[in-house]
Amino acid sequence: MDQHEIDAELSAAPDLLEATSAHLAYTAQDGTPRVVPVGIYWTGTELVVATGTEAPKVAAITARPDVALAIDGAGGAGAPDQTRTLSVRGRADVRIVDGVVEEYLAASRKSMAPDAAAAFEKACRAMYPRMARIGITPTWARYFDFGTGRIPGFLQDLAERAQPADGAGE
């Protein structure tokens, strides 16, 4: 997928890129797949995940930096025809930083009242002398919006084949 196609998919889902949580898939140290819930922050070029330096995903992603993220958004009571998701594959860059990853705090400010975010920041600064910043640069992206018919190609093909031909049965 070229950068133009990636950008088009990402720009179709601005509200999902404003989300503060996702599911991260990676290959663990033992070679088996993992999917974990994570906090995220979109910088405009990277999806940033922050975690403690001791988290198992840090060593695993450092060794195998190809990862995937799923960011979900559901409409009215999770109705299937209102399901939306952004799937992203990318290459992760893991960096250990002193103190708290700034994007981690920025994400908290998006989802918390100011006083709660300030208390969260204070607690994080006391807990984390260092953190791992995992910056994921998208190499592939696909946005699905089932309510508007923006669905996986194989489902579109199945739906079209399932439709009766015009005038059939009349």
At residue 167, the pLDDT reads 55
State how far the Cα of 84 lies from the Cα of 148, in Å rounded to an integer: 10
Is residue 117 situated within a structural domain?
yes
Cα separations (Å) of 123 from 52, 128, 139?
14, 9, 35
Q: In the beta sheet, which residues pair with residue 84?
A: 73, 145
At residue 62, the pLDDT reads 98
Task: Look at 106 and 151; give whichever has higher pLDDT.
Answer: 106
Is residue 55 situated within a structural domain?
yes
**pLDDT 10s digits, 87-108:** 999 999 999 999 999 999 999 9
CATH at 63: 2.30.110.10
Distance of CA 146 to the CA centre of its chain: 18
Is residue 166 situated within a structural domain?
no
**pLDDT 10s digits, 32-82:** 999 999 999 999 999 999 999 999 999 999 999 999 999 998 655 556 667
Q: What angle do CA 110, 76, 141 make, to 5 degrees?
A: 60
At residue 44, the pLDDT reads 97
At residue 45, the pLDDT reads 97
Is residue 41 situated within a structural domain?
yes
State how far the Cα of 13 lies from the Cα of 61, in Å rounded to an integer: 26
Cα separations (Å) of 131 from 104, 105, 119, 156, 160?
10, 12, 18, 43, 49
The domain of 112 spans 3-161
- On whether the CB atoms of residues 128 and 98 are closer than 8 A, the answer is no
78-72-56-53 Cα dihedral, nearest 10 degrees:
-120
Is residue 27 situated within a structural domain?
yes
Q: Which tokens is 5 given? A: 């196609």
Is residue 170 situated within a structural domain?
no
Is residue 169 situated within a structural domain?
no
Is residue 79 situated within a structural domain?
yes
Q: How many domains does the chain have?
A: 1
pTM of the complete model:
0.87
At residue 168, the pLDDT reads 55
